[in-house]
Amino acid sequence: MAMKELLRSISYCSTAERRERICRILSDKGIAYDIERDDKAINLVVGDPAESLVTICGHYDIVPGSCGANDNGSSCTVMLDLIEKFYDEPGLCFVFLDREESGFYGSSLHFSRYNPALTVNLDVVGGGEHLVYQTMVRGYEDGSCPTDSHNVDPMERLASLLEGKSCGLAGFLDMFACQRFHALKVSSLPMCDTHNIARLGHEVVTFSAFPEKDAAIIRKTGNLSCTEVIKYMHNGCYDDIEYICTDTMQEVEDLLEFFIVSCRDDGMRCMVGRYLNRASR
């Protein structure tokens, strides 16, 4: 199914209907999934989160009355495509998160239980021509708060592995995004699951998409205060399939596919394994 048609199939519906449609798509492809739930949220999980080195997530809930195409059907569509290619990849887990729009309950449910080496969060990845990303590093072992690493050099983040501060995967993904895919790094994004996941002590890289006008403002000012990105989410006038940029969605998918395949390298796995063994002691 073409990307836009897949997106259309999970849009113009309620949160519960989207959840049911995602389940049906996975079942029709013979892909096993688990339902993770408590009294506040219902997540869908593909893969084993207890063995996950990298978890790719995105929220599936919809603001009532919204088409929900960009926010966040775009990310769900990219995840469904990636799942079809990598659902049985060792060390990789996918999570469709519930209730990002009303309290971050889905991310709290999952990331209070599991501790992947790296979390990749996708949020509104179809709302413009420019791929943007933000990296937040988990709190250090002294208990300090997670730090926005906008000004941290990727190689410095890799070197922090030696100090037990980072698994290094965020540094590699940072370099892939910046150098190979020319993504625009931002110091902040609108409040989303990323901030909650980082608050819970995890290392997170978040991908989004901004229109040309907003990207130009960010390059000039370095902040989001004058942008119109809100029009591409919630009940915004551009949160509609007709305004979706599937080229950017495909760029996110290509970047993550390249990263997943690169993580098969034995040296990368040994490095992450050393980190996880040290962290568990």
Domain chopping of the chain, boundaries: 3-280
Lowest mean pLDDT segment, chosen from 1-5, 80-84, 165-169, 272-276: 272-276
Q: Say how far apart CA 193 and CA 207 lie, in whole Å.
A: 12
> Between 88 and 163, where is the model more confident?
88
Neighbours of 166 (CB within 10 A): 24
List, for residues 141-159, the tens digit of each pLDDT value: 222 333 333 344 444 444 4
Residue 109 pLDDT grade (very low, low, confident, very high; cuts 50, 70, 90): very high
Give 268's pLDDT tier (boundaries 50, 70, 90).
Answer: low
CA dist list (Å): 140 to 167, 203, 243: 12, 10, 41
Rounded to an integer, the average pLDDT of 78-86 is: 98
Q: What is the pLDDT of residue 51?
A: 92
- Give yes or no for residue 273 having a pLDDT over 60: no
The answer to whether 204 and 55 are in contact (CB under 8 A) is no
pLDDT average, residue stretch 193-205: 93
Beta strands 92-97 and 118-122, pairing class = unpaired
Nearest one of 26, 17, 110 to 60, comparing CA atoms: 17
Predicted pLDDT at 243: 93
Confidence tier at 271 by pLDDT (50, 70, 90): low
User: What's the mean pLDDT when you consider all of the chain?
Assistant: 84
- Residue 195's pLDDT band, with cuts at 50, 70 and 90, is very high
pLDDT at 175 over 90: no
Each residue of 241-265: pLDDT tens digit? 999 999 999 999 999 999 998 887 6
- Residue 154: the pLDDT is 42
Give the pairing type, strands 204-210 and 130-137: antiparallel
CATH class of 3-280: alpha beta
C-alpha distances out from residue 114 to 54, 108, 154, 220, 226, Å: 11, 10, 25, 39, 37
Q: Above 70 in pLDDT, residue 41?
A: yes
